Amino acid sequence: MYGHVNNVVYYGWFDTVVNAELIERGALDIHLGQTIGFVVETQCNYFAPLAFPQTVEAGIRVAQAGKSSVRYEIALFAQGAGTAAAQGHLVHVYVDRSTQKPMPLPGALRRVIEELRAQ
């Protein structure tokens, strides 16, 4: 309506970026895995509008990791842009799928988290 992507879409992109990265690296199985991540906190700062049908690129890193939680920082860019159009974070708490109680990060997930922290 205003010629730009609505702010709620950015939060969907944040969640998609994190989960896609973990799935692609073999650290998360959203269908059959015992561990799933619940978003417990999000935040976003906007610097420039993104508009449909622009291609959006994302960068991701881990800022903090605890026993069962991870803070991911994400930046969104218009394709080819050198500066972010938006950046923010989300915090996942990883829980047992059946009990929905927090659980320690499994080994494969912990390894990917450490790789993303190093970036």
Class at the top of the CATH hierarchy for domain 7-118? alpha beta
pTM: predicted TM-score of the whole model, two decimal places? 0.91
Q: Which one-letter amino acid corresponds to residue 7? A: N
Rg, the chain, Cα only:
15
Residue corresponding to tokens 């080819």: 80
pLDDT score for 105 = 96
Is 2's pLDDT higher than 80?
no
DSSP secondary structure code for residue 56 in this structure: E
Q: Mean pLDDT throughout 10-33?
A: 94
The per-residue pLDDT for range 33-88, each reduced to its tens digit, is 999 999 999 999 999 999 988 999 999 999 999 999 999 999 999 999 999 999 99
pLDDT score for 118 = 72
CA distance 22 to 102: 18
The per-residue pLDDT for range 100-111, each reduced to its tens digit, is 999 999 999 999
